[in-house]
């Protein structure tokens, strides 16, 4: 439209990865990437490749998150020891703040959200020491259920909860935390 020619360089490393990160970070998914690509007259990757790249990014994010969490826990531990806040066995005592949320507002009575998350934050550093997510619903599992057939394409299933939504936060904090973060022991006072 401006009668000028440009050469636009994208990421040299992996443009597919950048595209998936971009779409994911605006809480969107493949269908929207496909639409944007079509509007820009750029060929889009296949759904299968999108899923593959998405899974790899999820793994990388999880790994980075766990490392950040471990670093934060180590910092809390170090600060507690420096302040002399240890029990009689020399175990550092860390004060934390715990809270969680559901994807759907309960209004105090209707606890039927399909997804929830909870986190533990170090009081001193304000850094995340743990987080967990529980999902009662998976789009692909539900799709195969509705079709009354086994979904042929293998998928990474994020459904990891079948209990009540009301007990979801407590489960994340009590069980998941102890399972994944064995390097920290905690007492609820
Ligand atoms: Zn599933």
Instruction: Tell how far the Cα of 49 is from the centroid of ligand 1, in angstroms.
Output: 18
C-alpha 156 to ligand 1 mean position (Å): 7
pLDDT in tens, 53-77: 999 999 999 899 989 999 999 999 9
pTM here?
0.68
Return the closest-CA partner of residue 119 out of 107, 109, 132, 108.
132
Query: Given this model, what pLDDT does residue 24 score?
Result: 92
> What is the distance in A from the centroid of ligand 1 to the CA of 78?
41
182 vs 19, more confident: 19
Residues with CB under 5 A from ligand 1 (ion): 138, 140-141, 157
Distance 141 CA to ligand 1 centre (A): 4
Distance 152 CA to ligand 1 centre (A): 12
Q: How many CB atoms lie within 10 A of CB 100?
A: 19
Dist CA 76 CA 183 (whole Å): 13
pLDDT of residue 82: 95
112-138, pLDDT tens digit by residue?
Answer: 778 888 888 999 999 999 888 888 888
Residue 60: the pLDDT is 93
Give dist(CA 31, CA 37) in Å, integer.
Answer: 10
Task: Report CA(47)–ligand 1 centroid distance (Å).
Answer: 16
Q: Return the CA Rg of the chain.
A: 22
- Mean pLDDT (the chain, rounded): 83
- Cα 145 to ligand 1 centre (Å): 10
- Give the model's confidence band at 106: pLDDT under 50 very low, under 70 low, under 90 confident, else very high: low
**pLDDT band for position 108 (50/70/90)?**
low
Q: Where are the domains of the chain?
A: 66-180
């Amino acid at each position: 439209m401006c009668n000028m020619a440009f050469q636009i360089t994208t990421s040299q490393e992996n443009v597919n990865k950048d595209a998936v990160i971009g779409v994911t970070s605006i809480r969107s998914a493949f269908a929207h990437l496909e639409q944007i690509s079509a509007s820009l007259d750029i060929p889009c990757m296949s759904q299968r490749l999108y899923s593959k790249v998405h899974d790899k990014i999820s793994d990388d994010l999880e790994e980075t998150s766990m490392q950040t969490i471990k670093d934060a826990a180590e910092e809390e531990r170090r600060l507690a020891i420096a302040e002399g806040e240890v029990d009689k066995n020399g175990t550092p005592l860390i004060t934390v703040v715990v809270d969680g949320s559901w994807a759907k507002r309960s209004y105090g009575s209707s606890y039927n959200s399909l997804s929830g998350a909870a986190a533990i934050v170090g009081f001193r550093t304000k850094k995340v020491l743990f987080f967990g997510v529980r999902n009662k619903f998976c789009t692909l599992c539900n799709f195969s259920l509705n079709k009354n057939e086994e979904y042929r394409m293998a998928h990474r299933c994020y459904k990891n909860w079948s209990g009540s939504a009301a007990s979801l936060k407590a489960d994340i904090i009590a069980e998941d935390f102890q399972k994944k973060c064995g390097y920290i022991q905690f007492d609820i006072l």
